[in-house]
Amino acid sequence: MFLVAFAFAFVFLGGTVQSDDEIGWSADRKLTWSDFPTIAKINTPYKAMTHSGIRFDGAYEGDQLTLSVACYFIKSKSWQLEGHASEKLLRHEQGHFDITEIFARKLRQRYQSLDLQRLSSEGQAGFSKIEAIYQATYDAMEKEQERYDKETDHSKNAEKQLQWDRYIAKELKQLESFASM
């Protein structure tokens, strides 16, 4: 299962803050079960839940507007159901986090093509355009996450999970130039 967070802020000095509760997406750092608090039986058909999201910040340095995008996982809002941790399920949950990164990269790609100075000079109308791009990307990501769960039956369909694993790896590779720094 997947839950996504929406974060958007304009600040004057910029910078994305990451807490001890957050893990920023990295090709070198995969999720482990220790990242997911274990919970006792609850009324849910799911065995784990990944809470990840995309944060973007707009920062002014003088009159120059810059946008930064970060993909993150929140430990305290994610969970695993006691007694159900498996490598197969962990790979599925990593897939949710990776899909979030794919859409963070797509957002970076879209923002890179913008004329930020022009949008900045448009004031609220310009910021609304930036926010609309974020929202469209966010909505597309939510649909992709839902399709991932449906097609893989939440990791139970091994053949579909393998197809998705390949697709996710291919998308990450194709968008590598827009990866987190």
Q: What are the backbone dihedrals phi and psi of residue 157, each rounded to the nearest 5 degrees, phi first?
A: -90, 95
- Measure the CA–CA gap between 37 and 72, rounded to whole angstroms: 16
- Measure the CA–CA gap between 48 and 58, rounded to whole angstroms: 33
Highest mean pLDDT pick, 66-70, 122-126, 157-161: 157-161
What value does the mean pLDDT of the chain take? 88
Would you state the pLDDT for residue 58? 85
User: Which of 30-48 are b and which e, b meaning 16 or more Cβ less than 10 Å from the residue's Cβ?
Assistant: ebeeebbeeeeeeeeeebb
- Measure the CA–CA gap between 83 and 162, rounded to whole angstroms: 24
Q: Which of 135, 137, 126, 141 is nearest to 58 (CA)?
A: 126
Is residue 4 scored above 80 in pLDDT?
no
Q: Note the pLDDT tens digit of each residue in 88-124.
A: 999 999 999 999 999 999 999 999 999 988 888 888 8
